[in-house]
Structure 1
């Protein structure tokens, strides 16, 4: 994700390709990025976050898969990706056994649901994320999709705030 902050005015004034690139760094769903871009200009931060919530709510199952594909597996942040490492800071120093259990639970979740486990990892420990993964694994696909939708909205809110504030 880009390290330079943006103002709402600068985002609103960006050409379509540049704005799409910026928004796709927040969420890898092209449909989400297009839906958010269509709502510009945003008079304030809340308007942008409302656009996020509305766009996330409108995503299809395929769009949610596009969105989850842009996230590292829990317990496996992408090396050198500041956003991934920052968002999963709670795994730093975690016991190897917990990380191994996360890996196994992720694989079982992916086999069942067809996409990576998505959770707003900011402020969560490895053990807490593992507990949430285990708690959610028994869900049916419809229930889990709605939980994923809520987690995605929270992640996007954090990323949009960070985009506006800078590193």
Structure 2
């Protein structure tokens, strides 16, 4: 019988388990707390723990996690796991037409000027037009509202990545 991803997480040494979690979100405290919670009885238990530990993340943790994310529409460089996650999550944007790509690039620039960090959205399962509409809408947010939304999106991404790693 082959071990499940959850079995591997539960049995991994702390450094290996921490590395897996950091590839889901570059937030060391979060990764450490989820690792300390092992062993988990079910996939849902570990995902619940990951959600709980991530809410809230500090501003510094949000900034660290955001710094690891590429702009929407740009291909993540490198061979590490978080870059692989980003490329897979943004696959739907990769085939966008030239006008959408241009509008995403312009929106990314405007967003970064307004908020000081990359625009982040859970891209998995969303098409380029939906992402562009969300970007346009979120440009109207005040900084506090946008910070809260970016943190929510980071949590969603982290948990989806962890679920993918363990499924």
Q: Same fold (TM over 0.5)?
A: yes
Per-residue CA distance 1:80-134 (angstroms, 9 max, x = gap): 6432221011113211121111111111111222211110001111121111011
2:161 is aligned to 159
Could you list the runs of 5+ residues in structure 2 that have no partner in the other structure?
none
Report matched runs for 1:9-158 at 5 Å.
Answer: 9-79=7-77, 81-158=83-160
Q: Is the 8 A contact 1:6 1:163 kept in 2?
A: no
Structure 1 residue 9, shift from structure 2 partner = 2.7
Q: CA RMSD in A?
A: 1.8
The whole-number CA distance in structure 1 between the counterparts of 2:139 and 2:54 is 22
1:74 positional shift: 0.5
TM-score by length of structure 1 reads 0.87
Residue 59 of structure 1 aligns to a residue in which SS?
Answer: coil
Q: How many residues align?
A: 161
3-state secondary structure, aligned to 1:53: helix
Deviations 1:48-69 (A, max 9, x none): 1111111221311110111111
Mapped partners of 2:56, 2:32: distance in 1 = 12
Unmatched runs of 5 consecutive residues or more in structure 1:
none
